Amino acid sequence: MERIAGHYAGELDAQFRTLNHFANHAGEIGRAHETFLRGVLSRFLPDDLRLGTGFVVSPTWTSRQQDILIYKRDFTRLFEVGDCVVIDHEAFVGTVEVKTDLGSSDSLAEAVELISDLNTTTLVCAGKWP
């Protein structure tokens, strides 16, 4: 499994380096990194789960924007445009916060704070890509 993960990491790295050759806009580069990572993750998801980006809502709160949402396929999305979704908290399975450059402990703390409200499966995916 470690070798396979290394191959996927190499694929992501090549895509990121190619994009960075053409683009110099942090927001768009970050969005592309999220999209690339969602593509890799989707290959390993069971059929009953989906991926998107967006928000989780309950009767009493709404999350902040989540880079990658993992949610149950059998729940209706409350809102959807492109890959941005709003899902009910009962559909929520987990989230991935993607940071292109996690350069400080403050950046890590901010990423953890962003996903801590959801109190469930979370992952911060960070890398420094050229």
Q: What is the pTM of this model?
A: 0.73
Tens place of pLDDT per residue across the chain (130 aa)? 788 878 888 887 888 788 878 877 777 778 888 888 898 889 889 999 999 999 999 888 888 899 999 999 999 999 999 889 999 999 999 888 887 766 677 777 776 766 666 654 444 444 443 3
Give CB contacts under 8 A, 24+ apart, made by 71-76.
72/48, 73/47, 73/48, 73/49, 74/48
Number of other CB atoms surrounding residue 103 within 10 Å: 11
C-alpha 24/C-alpha 21 separation (Å) is 8
- Radius of gyration, CA atoms only, the chain: 15
C-alpha 69/C-alpha 97 separation (Å) is 9
